[in-house]
Amino acid sequence: MSEDRHIRLGRLRWHCRRALLELDLLFERFWQRHGDTIDMQDEAALKQLLALEDHDLWALVSGAQKIDDPQVAQMIERIRTA
């Protein structure tokens, strides 16, 4: 893994630390299971999700709200099932 990629993934992982314990736990499991397989499209989807406020992000991850972007929807499913 290149140093730049390693740094980017480290930043993404850091931004996954959330105020809501439920999100924190989901992201922790996600990184444990999928951290080694994240590609550039996954990075983009994660960035988009992590830009959301915790309650908006929880609404998507919990299934209370849907998102039209198929790439982001796929990432939400991966987070849910981790």
Q: Domain tally for the chain?
A: 1
Confidence of residue 3 (pLDDT cuts 50, 70, 90): confident
Place of tokens 């931004």: 15
Look up the domain containing 49 and give its range. 3-81
Task: Give tens-digit pLDDT for 73-82.
Answer: 999 999 999 8
Tokens of 58: 């929880």
Task: Give tens-digit pLDDT for 21-74.
Answer: 999 999 999 999 999 999 999 999 999 999 999 999 999 999 999 999 999 999
CATH number of 46's domain? 1.10.150.250
Instruction: Give the global pTM.
Output: 0.88
At a CB cut-off of 8 Å and minimum separation 6, what does 34 contact?
42, 78, 82
pLDDT at 72: 96
pLDDT at 14: 95
pLDDT at 1: 62
